[in-house]
Structure 1
């Protein structure tokens, strides 16, 4: 799940001497509003269609634009989680990838990153999602897994986040391999765990919509 594995080779980098009209042409062709700019192998930042339209000069060279997010990059061996984190920090849907010598290797789009993230968390696997709230001192995935396995179910993946309603607690999101949660919920509650949300699979949902819905539910967005 390292960054270099998800580089999108269909997105070309612009050079400082390229003209704005070429950038817009490429953006239209590959259906994006942002492109990376690279000078002699070094990532310099991104140019957007908004920047170009503001200047309103199609013959203007890219070097004349104030590029955005020059620090929006990750090293090639960083995890896909880091790619999503950097994209979120810079509020952009593309992240550059460089090697340890800072040589530009390519970019990763957020569509590709989210797809990889979803796969890594078993989002597409059949099963339900449970969300528990607890103090960090009470967190033991081994113990929780033992309880869930006593109901003939297994944890496919887990995700910890802060509880926005209580800073002293965490939220533990679990993807299970079972769709029926009634007995699992009852057993967890019997052992003192507080379940604050759950999501069970529904029928008659398209595969694409199911993929998106499951990811958003898993991340509790």
Structure 2
């Protein structure tokens, strides 16, 4: 893994407050949850990471301890050398904003807060570089990343990023970021390859022509 990527994430590992143990009282749990707004909290017993518990599973009680919620332990984590994308991926996968970090010996190191990781996304070319943003759609089995890349590059643009932003009812919705170029030519090429354009663009000659025809028809019908 690239050292700069590791350095960009490892300095964000939090070691305080310390992880919870089975004998931690409810008051300590609720203080952590309310002060930090974390979705989960890590549990370690005798230096061994046991998992994380969702804050919503904690029921107000003056007598309960973390051990009373052991049934709710979720054993998800990332390694110490995880990159920012893997961290965000795990946060999305487990619907959490706190992610425990383990070393190569599976010892608890600390945790990542999603709030600290998200800003790293803003420094990627996909987010910070000026360019064209297009959302296209095609059947999940029919789209091709290599085809998408070829369409963008044959129109004299560089692909800055592409990701599948939605998969519903057998359709894949794909968000594309490309360097500045003739967006109309790119859009029309995607249509020729069977892609539906989901996003709206002022330079889209096809839609502009449809709008002109619709306006002409309305005018004709109102005569």
- TM-score band, normalised by shorter chain: 0.5 to 0.7
- How far apart, CA to CA, are the structure 2 residues paired with 1:125 and 1:8? 30
Specify the alignment match of 2:147 in structure 1.
Answer: 140
Count of residues in Structure 1 that have an aligned counterpart in Structure 2:
193
- How far apart, CA to CA, are the structure 1 residues paired with 2:190 and 2:82? 36
TM-score between the two structures when normalised by the length of structure 1: 0.66
The 1:199/1:7 distance shift into structure 2, 3 A limit, reads: farther
Paired residues for 1:179-218 under 5 Å: 181-189=183-191, 192=193, 194-198=195-199
Paired residues for 1:1-221 under 5 Å: 1-2=5-6, 4=10, 6-9=12-15, 12-54=18-60, 56-57=61-62, 59-66=63-70, 68-120=72-124, 122-133=126-137, 135-136=142-143, 139-140=146-147, 142-149=149-156, 153-160=157-164, 163-166=167-170, 170-178=172-180, 181-189=183-191, 192=193, 194-198=195-199
Structure 1: runs of 5+ lacking an equivalent: 201-221
Specify the alignment match of 2:219 in structure 1.
Answer: none
- How far apart, CA to CA, are the structure 2 residues paired with 1:106 and 1:85? 18
Residue by residue over 1:149-176, the C-alpha shift from the partner in whole angstroms, topping out at 9 and shown as x without a partner, is: 2xxx432112246753446xx5442112
Please identify, of 42-51 and 71-80, the stretch whose mean Cα deviation from structure 2 is larger: 42-51
In the alignment, is the contact (CA less than 8 A) between 1:159 and 1:174 conserved in 2? yes
Structure 2: runs of 5+ lacking an equivalent: 202-223
TM-score between the two structures when normalised by the length of structure 2: 0.66
RMSD in angstroms over aligned alpha carbons?
A: 3.5
Report SS of the residue matched to 2:155: helix
In the alignment, is the contact (CA less than 8 A) between 2:19 and 2:43 conserved in 1? yes
> Which runs of 4 or more aligned residues in structure 1 lie more than 6 Å from their structure 2 counterparts after TM superposition?
none
Residue by residue over 1:8-58, the C-alpha shift from the partner in whole angstroms, topping out at 9 and shown as x without a partner, is: 45554223333221222232222335321222332222244444434x12x
- Deviation of 1:141 after TM superposition, in Å, equals 5.0
Report SS of the residue matched to 2:129: coil
- How far apart, CA to CA, are the structure 2 residues paired with 1:93 and 1:138? 30
- How far apart, CA to CA, are the structure 1 residues paired with 2:87 and 2:49? 16
In the alignment, is the contact (CA less than 8 A) between 1:98 and 1:104 conserved in 2? yes
- How far apart, CA to CA, are the structure 2 residues paired with 1:179 and 1:10? 48
Report SS of the residue matched to 2:29: helix
